[in-house]
Structure 1
Amino acid sequence: MTYRIGIDVGGTHTDAVLLDKDYQVLAQTKCSTTEDVSSGIYAAMREVIALSGVPREQITYAMLGTTHCTNAIVERKHLNEIAVIRIGAPATLAIKPLVGVPDDLRGHLGKRVYIVAGGHEFDGREIVKLDEARLYAIAGEIKGKVDSVAVTSVFSPVSKEHELRAAEIFRDVLGDDVPISLSYEIGSVGLLERENATILNAAIVNVAKSTALGFLSALKAEQVEARVFFGQNDGTLMSIEYAMKYPILTIGCGPTNSIRGASYLSGLENALVVDVGGTTTDIGVLVNSFPRESSLAVEIGGARTNFRMPDLISIGLGGGTIVRVQADGQFSVGPDSVGYRLPQKGLAFGGDTLTTTDVVIALGKANLGDAQKVAHLDRTLLEQVYSRMVEMVEEAIDKMKTSSEPVPVILVGGGSILLPDTLKGASQIIRPENSGVANAIGAAIAQISGQIDRVFSLDEKGRAETLEQAKSIAVEEAIAAGADPATVEIVEFEDIPLAYLGNATRIRVKAAGTLAGVLQTSDSN
């Protein structure tokens, strides 16, 4: 018998589950998310193993959805010393790297910025020859002074040639121990946003590495010899090696895990998922069992990027959201929250702060805490507050829908007790069993994926052969990330002709498969 642990770190709670080989939940737990994140993860892991009673030697997989990398960027802590290399002179000299990035973040990341001659046109033609001598000089200058390097070349999603050559030069001088982030592997067309994503990726390599090694150490301390995988923000997993190369792909994986978990628990492939936590409610869209991807540029820590992210709306409504009532009867809901301190701060638990959880307890909609401690509250006012809470979610649902037709809505998360069994815009409300830990379940049951998003010229190989080539690259990426080759299949495909670039097309392909060495079970998605 083999077992797997799934852990997901939220803003308020760190959830953990232990599943058997058929993905049945044997044990689950919620621990408070700690300031350093790691100790909360270790506490949740120890607790779920103890609750399950499963022999430790039979736990063979451990999946982690973590906020470490997000926190490092947002808080400007533990970032790598990096070198930023743009291959784009003279074409891009007018706009320097890190334009639009907040000053404090630029102060961390912009100490060593270089623009080198090279790059390609939109159709793949070379703008100017790559200045290899300058790259060798830069490599010598930064040797021993940086932890990682970010390389971005003009139109590298069309031609990656100059980025690959730059990487060879840096490895030749710096050795294989200095990670090199290449923009064609991370972002899509759009130089500045792709460059920012690549720079952020290079800046958090050490954070990912220390997180991975810390998690391995914690497992070892519990006598668990498991293969470790990280959740990434498209609802699939990646190996430790892959995560340390592309740590930016862990950003946004928490809500994504909830969406995947909701799909698995409900059996639905297409629906809206409303994930109510302690601090926020995240609304996402399930399309063929995976989260719908955002088509917009995304800001991470104030820096505008264009790498893939789930399409989400987050609102300041959770189980710990503070409700303030004025003397004249006016009130406000959030956006701030008492978070994991709800059992100490909430009125129904003996605290001094009115929260949304107190509202549903006082109205008899949830059986928690001590209802007598909130019995004195004005019921008419509470009904108005509750109506506003429901309205906030209904408005967010309406924004995420692509038509006026009602759609199924899956409610997950520990705070889902806040919401009723009917919502405007919902054809039905589904509250699956174990929905409170859907995020950890989503991490545990996830598949391995590979994805590409590039511009291809159709002149060389023709349309049919180019499409097949793109699919093959995505499949190879999935296998490299740890998927069983026999199970990999194409789960998303998008082909957008780009008439303004001549005979070119933008192709986005995602391939996914089960973990190598894991049998596909009949009830997995």
Structure 2
Amino acid sequence: MITGIDVGPTHTDAAILTGDGTPWATAKVPSVPDDPVTSVRHALAALHKRQRPGHPGPGKAEPAQVAVGLRGPAQAVVERKGLAKVAVLRIGGPAAQAVRPLFGWPADLRDAVRAGTAVVEGGGGFDAAEWTPLDTGAVAEFAAALAGRADAIAITGVFSPVDGTQERQAADIVRRELGDAVHISLSGELGPLGLLERENTTVLDAALHRLAADLSDGLRAAIGASATVLVTRGDGTLMGLDHLRRHPGLGLGGGLAGTLRGAAALTGLPDAVVADVGEHRVRVAALTAGFPQQALDAEIGGVPVGFWMPDLIRVARGGPHARHALAEAVDRMQPAAGRLPLVVVGGGAGEVPATLPGVAEVLHPEHGAVAGAIGAAASPVGGQAERVVRVDPRTDLGAVLDEVREEARVSAVRAGADPRRVQVSDVTRTPLPYLPSVTLRLHARASGPAHPL
């Protein structure tokens, strides 16, 4: 059996699923403000008091696997609380100085995280001839000046998704100057080709590292040393606590992603529009092939980012126009062709009527009030890989596709998947306009059950 927990702002939901995905027991308890770990403890205690009539329940033994949906990292960014001080190093030289690091950030968020910025020579393009050598002296000088000022370093290189060698070289220099106590986030491991969104992604990832470490320690203590503990990711998969420590930003959007996965599990629908009805607002999103439809222009805390996060429309709950606003949001989330059903979940789902104007079908699945917990329990451990490649007569595209698939598989294993049971999707190929010759963005997704302890 697998336990799922979803820590929301007002309530924490919990569910136990049997091996075939059937809910065995569910519970809902008030969340403890600003204390997700205690909320998890309370939810587990409530869950273990419940069992199906006439069947032996799981008792009070430690669960074998617990998957937790957290909104704490996103809340920290939005509220500017508990964030680490980050030094931002960009590798790109004069061509990368037109827009400085942290440009366009809300002033209060920028002040909360900034420990210094620098742009140094380096970076390049698709071919070795297009690369400029890394200015290692400038990197060392910047790092030495950060002693006692920065908790973390975010390193972003121009074209690092193509080749991350210079980012790794810069990280080695930073470690020599500052030691291993300073957290380092590398953009090539996190974001897409676009420089600014990828840099923003890396800065927020670094800013969340202390919060992620505290959450990891707290969850391990609350759940028990013998259990496999996982947390939700924004792409609708899970990752282990060690991976959360390394890449805390991957958890942004994980709470909603788990709810969407729960809607899919409860209805059996791979494609649908989902309304998650909370205490104060409704979040409308979509399922595509059983996973959250990803936002093309993701933003958190007023900052554009390249994290994989669900596409989302927020609607205020209550008021004379709430029904019309919800129907309009559902319509905006519909694909270009066809009318997908609306699945209504969340603690306030009962207030949404069985019919809405312009909506073909409204579904209220059983156990929908705890869809986030069910989705956390039902989700696989996942990983992704993305590469940009210039295709010419010399390119062995088949070999490159195999490499991307292997990178996705390795990413899932690093996140905590059982290497013997990982499955890798086909590699999608997206042409990139406005670049010389034929240039493709290649993307693969891998997922599988968690590696047992």
TM-score range for the pair, normalised by the shorter chain length: over 0.9
* Cα RMSD (Å): 2.1
Conserved? CA contact 1:18–1:49, under 8 Å: no
Which among 437, 440, 444 is matched to residue 505 of structure 1?
440
Partner of 1:216: 220
1:167 correspondence with 2:166: no
Partner of 2:263: 262
1:274 correspondence with 2:275: yes
| Distance (whole Å) between structure 2 residues aligned to residue 295 and residue 466 of structure 1 | 25
Shift of 1:4: 2.6
Shift of 1:424: 3.5
Shift of 1:440: 0.5
- Sequence identity percentage: 36
Which among 336, 340, 361 is matched to residue 407 of structure 1?
340
Conserved? CA contact 1:492–1:511, under 8 Å: no
Partner of 2:312: 312
1:423 correspondence with 2:356: yes
Structure 1 residues 215 and 130: alpha-carbon distance in aligned structure 2, compared to 1, 3 A threshold: same
Structure 1 residues 258 and 124: alpha-carbon distance in aligned structure 2, compared to 1, 3 A threshold: farther
1:395 correspondence with 2:395: no
1:291 correspondence with 2:295: no
1:106 correspondence with 2:106: no
Partner of 1:183: 187
Three-state SS of the structure 2 residue aligned to 1:51 is coil
Structure 1 residues 120 and 195: alpha-carbon distance in aligned structure 2, compared to 1, 3 A threshold: same
Partner of 1:489: 423
| Distance (whole Å) between structure 1 residues aligned to residue 247 and residue 209 of structure 2 | 8
1:133 correspondence with 2:140: no
Structure 1 length as normaliser, TM-score? Answer: 0.80
| Distance (whole Å) between structure 2 residues aligned to residue 98 and residue 455 of structure 1 | 25
- Correspondence 1:25-174 to 2 at 5 A: 25-38=23-36, 39-52=38-51, 54-121=58-125, 125-174=129-178
| Distance (whole Å) between structure 1 residues aligned to residue 222 and residue 282 of structure 2 | 31
Shift of 1:60: 0.9
| Distance (whole Å) between structure 1 residues aligned to residue 258 and residue 181 of structure 2 | 32
- One-letter amino acid matched to 1:192: L
Structure 1 residues 263 and 418: alpha-carbon distance in aligned structure 2, compared to 1, 3 A threshold: same
- One-letter amino acid matched to 1:14: T
Shift of 1:171: 2.7
Q: Alpha-carbon deviations, 1:253-283, whole Å to 9, x = none?
A: 1221111011111111122222212122122
Q: Alpha-carbon deviations, 1:303-360, whole Å to 9, x = none?
A: 221222111212112xxx4xxxxxxxxxxx2xxxxxxxxxxxxxxxxxxxxxxxxxxx
Structure 1 residues 8 and 225: alpha-carbon distance in aligned structure 2, compared to 1, 3 A threshold: same
Which among 14, 21, 24 is matched to residue 22 of structure 2?
24
- Gaps of at least 5 residues in structure 1 are 322-332, 334-384, 519-525
Partner of 1:377: none
- One-letter amino acid matched to 1:244: R
- One-letter amino acid matched to 1:476: V
Q: Alpha-carbon deviations, 1:159-211, whole Å to 9, x = none?
A: 21211211222233333343211111111122111111100110000001101
Conserved? CA contact 1:12–1:279, under 8 Å: no
- Gaps of at least 5 residues in structure 2 are 52-56
Structure 2 length as normaliser, TM-score? Answer: 0.92
Q: Alpha-carbon deviations, 1:195-251, whole Å to 9, x = none?
A: 11100110000001101111112224xxx7311111001110001111111111111
The structure with the largest alpha-carbon Rg is 1
Conserved? CA contact 1:407–1:425, under 8 Å: no
Conserved? CA contact 2:69–2:232, under 8 Å: yes
Three-state SS of the structure 1 residue aligned to 2:41 is helix
| Distance (whole Å) between structure 2 residues aligned to residue 162 and residue 181 of structure 1 | 13
Conserved? CA contact 1:57–1:225, under 8 Å: no
| Distance (whole Å) between structure 2 residues aligned to residue 121 and residue 471 of structure 1 | 22
Shift of 1:508: 1.8
Q: Alpha-carbon deviations, 1:70-123, whole Å to 9, x = none?
A: 111111111112221111122222321000001111112222212111111365
Q: Moved runs in structure 1, 4+ residues, more than 6 A?
A: none
Three-state SS of the structure 1 residue aligned to 2:159 is coil
Shift of 1:478: 0.8
Partner of 2:241: 240
